[in-house]
Amino acid sequence: MENLTKRYGSTVAVDGLSFRIRPGQVTGFLGPNGAGKSTTMRMIIGLDRPTAGTATVLGKPYVEHVAPLCVLGALLEAKSVHRGRSARNHLLALAQTHGIGPRRVDEVLETVGLSGVAGRRAGGFSLGMGQRLGIAAALLGDPAVVMLDEPVNGLDPDGVRWIRTLLKDLAAEGRTVLVSSHLMSEMAVTAEHLVVIGRGRLLAETSVADLIARVAVSRVLVRSPDAGPLRDALVHTGATVTGSEPGRLDVGGASAESIGDLARKHGFALHELTPQRASLEEAYMELTNGQGLPA
């Protein structure tokens, strides 16, 4: 994406986005509702035309590729299927546009766990089954790039674990994987790289660990029978200290090592000294605060 911009009248949905998604890793595409994620994805595959800037896939616009399904497979809306067609016939219709044979259709049905219901009409599928069918369509052309918008919607816990493994396996094969999600817990264990946007603008392009270290404040949980005087000593060093129960302190701005050294110096007993690693959700919420849709 180079200076990618989309305006709808006076509304700016995407505002000068520039970033690159690289192969061999899962990239999480994050942002509040209304941030411009879906619009960006639609522009990548030519469903929306940019007002300015460019989006290219393997060096040129997606629509200029001779066999686009073999270049980038996308899931943007799981229910975008002919409700009267069976799952297999839906995929066969897509396959025939690219000269892909029935064997590949059966392979992707097996991959997504729909072989047993391949003859059922897609209109009767649950949300989770529709997601699996959409992912099968994205994989149909054995593409170098896979782009999925909220793929875990409607999946049960086994399905969530399955999509997590699938994304990692696709990246391990050297493919470029871009996935949007509102589930920060999933992104924390699935994505290696993150692109975070807010109100159409790039907020961060970084790794999960670096975003947490950069944005979220790490704290240390301390339990001590000398919590009162220990609090005073910590505040004197410039640390921030809160405590919601007797004998417990939540300390920011000081490492576990420095707290332990301070307690030893003053003779304070310590019963617990545990660094609390900030979560991706906390870092994301801090970074995107005020970047969602106007109230």
Tell me what pLDDT residue 291 has: 61
Res. 98: pLDDT tops 90: yes
Tell me what pLDDT residue 217 has: 64
Q: Which residues contact 177 (CB under 8 A, 6 or more apart)?
A: 25, 26, 27, 145, 146, 147, 148, 167, 170, 171
Position with higher pLDDT, 289 vs 116: 116
Mean per-residue pLDDT, 69-80? 90
Q: What is the mean pLDDT of the chain?
A: 92
Tell me what pLDDT residue 215 has: 64
Res. 258: pLDDT tops 50: yes
**Where are the chain's structural domains?**
2-207, 217-277
Tell me what pLDDT residue 295 has: 38
Tell me what pLDDT residue 20 has: 95
Res. 30: pLDDT tops 90: yes
Tell the CATH superfamily of the 217-277 domain: YebC, transcriptional regulation domain (3.30.70.980)
pTM, two decimals, is 0.81
What would be the CATH architecture of the domain defined by 2-207? 3-Layer(aba) Sandwich (3.40)
What pLDDT digit, counting tens, does each position of 197-247 carry? 999 999 999 998 888 877 666 789 999 999 999 999 999 999 999 987 899
What pLDDT digit, counting tens, does each position of 135-182 carry? 999 999 999 999 999 998 888 899 999 999 999 999 999 999 999 988
Res. 1: pLDDT tops 70: yes
Q: How confident is the model at residue 294 (pLDDT cuts 50, 70, 90)?
A: very low
Position with higher pLDDT, 275 vs 231: 231
